[in-house]
Amino acid sequence: MADPLDPFPDVDDEADRALVARHQEAVRALPALSVEDLVYDYRTQFHRDPLVARTDAAYYLSVRSHVWAEFGERLDAGPDGLSRLKAIHAEQFREHVGEQAADDAMILTRE
């Protein structure tokens, strides 16, 4: 399994790295869903396919705000922590995909 922080090479701050790692762990802790299953569900349940790019290390998604709201509750990161986490994902999305996400950027490390 890849390191969950591989798609975030520009994140140096330890608190930010810990926040990103918590998010990636929360994705993996979803009951009965792998990362691939979750991406598949998003792709089939959303009106617009959220998958923008895929690499060997990660899925680059443009998700609706309710997806982040659900993870915000799961992570108990508070509004400031969730805002910071979303900003980190958006920055890395632009760096690796070369564009801004149409909605909220979310990067999920592949298993």
Per-residue confidence (pLDDT) for residue 92, from 0 to 100: 95
DSSP letter at 6 equals T
CB–CB of 74/85 below 8 Å?
A: no
Per-residue confidence (pLDDT) for residue 1, from 0 to 100: 53
**Average pLDDT of adjacent 10-residue blocks, the chain of 111 residues:** 84 94 93 93 91 95 92 90 95 92 93 83
CB–CB of 5/23 below 8 Å?
A: no
Beta strands 104-109 and 58-63: pairing type?
antiparallel
